[in-house]
A and B are shown apart, each in its own frame.
Chain A
Amino acid sequence: GQQLNQSPQSMFIQEGEDVSMNCTSSSIFNTWLWYKQDPGEGPVLLIALYKAGELTSNGRLTAQFGITRKDSFLNISASIPSDVGIYFCAASPGSSNTGKLIFGQGTTLQVKP
């Protein structure tokens, strides 16, 4: 079945460093999404991408929808302690009215002040 490979699985970085994570698949998708989950809370949508090649920013976050439609990356610039959490990529084939998403396994980010 369809699967997303998200990497890295975890990152431990120094405050101020830039962060990069990505998701790849052997399947083609029409929508790519990035979420952040704080401890004990539900995931929150960070960025939504709907067009191949699209590059979108949200503050210090930048995400791109791969041109092949099989991958996406998320960059965080100048990390701060509140960036700590689990980041999930998600994708939709867009061919069904169920709205089901495929999720990556998450990247756990820890930031050292």
Chain B
Amino acid sequence: SQTIHQWPATLVQPVGSPLSLECTVEGTSNPNLYWYRQAAGRGLQLLFYSVGIGQISSEVPQNLSASRPQDRQFILSSKKLLLSDSGFYLCAWSMGVGGPQHFGDGTRLSIL
């Protein structure tokens, strides 16, 4: 069966510091991968998605970037964090057209 792992679960970072959040999927090949951000009590905002290795599409202009160095690895990064980058970050995967997305447990990011 397929599983998705995100780490770390929580992270506290100072303003201006770099960021790297990692997501890996097991048990499937060539999945579509997604990064979302969720503000407290709010809906899901799609940040990036990828349909293959090295392919990244950005949904909103922002202080973040994403990379997919391996088929089942998706990384969310920033060179300098802003206060507005605080939130709950979720990684998800899916297979094929119209298939459901499956989410990781998320990373709670707090910027001080």
Contact = CB atoms under 8 A, between A and B. Distances in A.
B106 A48 contact: no
B106 A99 contact: no
Interface in B22-45: 32, 34, 41-44
A95 B32 CA distance: 15
A16 interface: no
A65 interface: no
Contact of A99 (B42, B90, B98): B98
Chain B interface extent, by class = 20 to 34
Chain A interface extent, by class = 20 to 34
A41 B100 contact: no
A30 interface: yes
Given A97-B51, A103-B44, A33 B103 contact: no
B74 interface: no
A99 B96 contact: yes
A45 B103 CA distance: 9
A108 B41 contact: yes
